[in-house]
Structure 1
Amino acid sequence: MTDNTNFTYEKVKKITDFLRTKTGIEPTIGIICGSGLGGLAELVENKYVIDYADIPGFPISTVIGHAGRLVFGNLGSKKVVCMQGRFHAYEGHSMAKVTLPVRVMKLLGIDTLIVTNACGGLNENYKVGDVMIIKDHICLPALAGIGPLVGLNDDEFGTRFTALSDAYDKDLRKLAKEVAAELGVDKFLHEGVYAMQLGPFYETIAECKLIRNLGADVVGMSTAPEVMVARHCGLRCFGLSLVTNEAIFDYDTERKANHVEVLETAANRGAQMCEFVSKICTRI
C-alpha cells in the first residue's frame, strides 16, 4: 500500500504561493497534456511558462513527449494552466507525487480539470487515431491498494470517502459531443471506459483480454489517479483518450506496441485534438 501523507495542505499551499509570486494569472481550468499532446499548451495566449525544475517541491517529468513545464495564460476568454507533461508512478513517483499538481491547480483556483492521454485500443471498433471521451475508468492499481487517497485524509482538500460514480462530468461530455459535431471530430469519436495499469510495460495478450473482459475500451498508464484526487478536491473532470496503438490479441503476430508509434500518432492527430480541447474550454 502507498501512504500519501507527504503532501499536506500546507506543503501544497507553499508551492501555490510560490507560483502566485511568478504570475498574476488566476486559472479556472486546469489541463493535463498526455504523451505527444503538449501542443495544446502552444495555443495558450499571453502565456507565462515555468519549468517544473524551477518549482520548489515539484516533481520532474522524465518521459519523452512530456516537456515538463506549467503554462499559464488564456484560451479564448478562459484563464487556464496547462501541465505540458505529467508524472507517472512508473517513473518512481508515489501516487501522492503523481497527483500533487492537481491539488496545486485546485489551490490556484481551478474548478474544472481536463485530462488527456495516449492509450491502447482494446475495443475492436477503435482504430489508431480515434479519440475517446472517457465516461468512466477502471484503476487497477487503486483496486490493489496503490491509490492516491490511501493514508491519512486531509480534510482541507476533501472528505475521507470520495464518490466516483460521477467522476467524469456528464454535462462536459455532452458539450464535447456538440463541439465534436461542429468540428467534424465526431467522425472518429467514441465514448467509453479507460483502464489504467501501472506500467511502464505494454500489456501481455492475456492481460489485454482480461482488461477488455472487465469492460474497458482502452488502456493506459495515467489519468485515473489524477481524476480521483480532482474529485476528492471537488473539481469537475473531463477526459479524452487518443488511441495511439491497437492492443495485441494475436499470439502469432510480429507486431509490437512501442512508444515511437504513440508519439507519431499523437503528432498526426495532435492539431485536431488541440483545436477540439481548446474549443471545449472556450465553451465551458
Structure 2
Amino acid sequence: MNIQNIQEAASYITEKLSISPKVGLILGSGLGMLADEIENPVKIKYETIPGFPVSTVEGHAGQLVSGTLMGVPVVAMQGRFHYYEGYGLEAVTFPVRVMKALGVEKLVVTNAAGGVNPALNPGDLMLITDHINNTGQDPLIGPNESKLGVRFPDMSTAYDRALQEVARDVAKEMNLDLKEGVYVWNTGPSYETPAEIRMLQKVGGDAVGMSTVPEVIVARHAGMNCLGVSCISNMAAGILDQPLSHDEVIETTEKVRDSFLRFVKDVLARMS
C-alpha cells in the first residue's frame, strides 16, 4: 500500500470539504439512499479522485458524499468496490485508507446479504457481530507498512462491542426487530449453490455476501472501530425454491428504506 497515493487522494478530497469527517459510511447495494440524507453535501465522483477505482455495480451511485448527518461530520461511499469486479483487494480497500487519512475514527459498513439462517427473513436488518472470511484472500497480504498498522492485527473484536450496544438500544427504542448474526464473505459474483449454503450453516454463518469483510479488516488494521449492518435482501440458495437475482436485492432494500434510514441515523446521533 503506497502511503503517497493515500495522501494524494486525501489531499484532493480535503480541498473540497468544509468539514473534517469523523465517521465513515460504506453503503451497499440499494442502500445508497442514506447519503441523500446528508446535509450540506459535497459530492465527489470516484473517477475524479486520484487512485480511486470506479464502481461498476447497478444500484451504486459511485461517489463520495460528505457533510453532516444528525450533527455528525461524515463521509459516505455511495457505492463500494468488490473483488468480483476484477479489482485487487488493495484497490477495494483503498477508500478505507483514505477515510483514515481524512480523520475518520469510526466506520459504519452496510450491505445487502442473503439469509443463510432460516430464522431470518427478507427485509430484516441484521447486526453483524462477527464475520467469516470464506475466500482465502486477505487485503493485508504483502509487505506491511507499519505507519498504517501492525503486521498481525487482532480481529477478536472486529465489530466494536460498544457500537453494537448503541445499535441494540436504538433498535429497542424503535421497536425494530433487529436480528444479529455472523456474516460470511464469498468472492462472488455467482451466488452460492444450495450445497454451499448448507456448509455455511454448519460452520456458523447467518448471512452471506460479497463485500464488507476486506473493508473491516483494513479498518481494524488502521485502528478504526467498526459497526456492521446487513439488510437481508433474499434467502440464500436452497432455502426457498426460487431463483436469485440482483433485482430482488434492490427491490427488498427499497422496501426497508424508512426503517433502515431511521435506524442508522439514530445510531449515528449517538456516536458523536
TM-score, length-normalised on structure 1? 0.94
Q: Which residue of 2 aligns with 1:192?
A: 181
Distance 1:250 1:29, change over 3 A: closer
Alpha-carbon separation, structure 2, partners of 1:276 and 1:250? 28
Q: Deviations over 1:126-175 (max 9, x none)?
A: 0000111000000112xx2x210000001111000011010000110011
Query: Where does residue 49 of structure 1 map in the other structure?
Result: 43
- Is 1:129 aligned to residue 123 of structure 2? yes
What corresponds to 1:267 in structure 2?
254
**Which residue is equivalent to 1:101?**
95
For 1:88 and 1:121, the matched residues in 2 are separated by: 20
Distance 1:225 1:243 in 2: 20
Aligned residue number for residue 270 of structure 2: 283
Distance 1:22 1:208 in 2: 45
For residue 172 of structure 1, what is the aligned residue in structure 2? 163
User: Does 1:181 find its partner at 2:175?
Assistant: no
Name the TM-score, length of structure 2 as normaliser: 0.98
Distance, in Å, in 2 between the alignment partners of 1:265 and 1:249 is: 19
Could you say if the C-alpha distance between residues 250 and 243 of structure 1 is closer, same or farther in structure 2, counting changes exceeding 3 Å?
closer
Which of the residues 213, 218, 227 maps onto 2:207? 218
Q: For residue 159 of structure 2, give the secondary structure of its aligned residue in structure 1.
A: coil
Name stretches of at least 5 consecutive residues in structure 2 with no aligned partner: none
Amino acid at match of 1:59: P
CA distance in 2, matches of 1:250, 1:113: 32
Identity rate, percent: 46
Matched to 1:201, the amino acid is S
How many angstroms does 1:263 deviate by? 0.2
Distance 1:129 1:225 in 2: 24
State the distance in 1 between where 2:70 and 2:239 align: 46
Superposition deviation, residue 260 in structure 1:
0.3
Structure 1: 5+ residue stretches without partners: 1-6
TM-aligned CA deviation for residue 77 of structure 1: 1.7
Question: What is the correspondence of 1:52-63 to structure 2 with a 5 Å cutoff?
Answer: 52-63=46-57
> Runs (4+) of structure 1 moved beyond 6 Å?
none
Give distance in 2, aligned partners of 1:198 and 1:169. Answer: 24
1:205-237 CA-to-partner distances (Å, cap 9, x unmatched) read 111111111100000000000000000000000
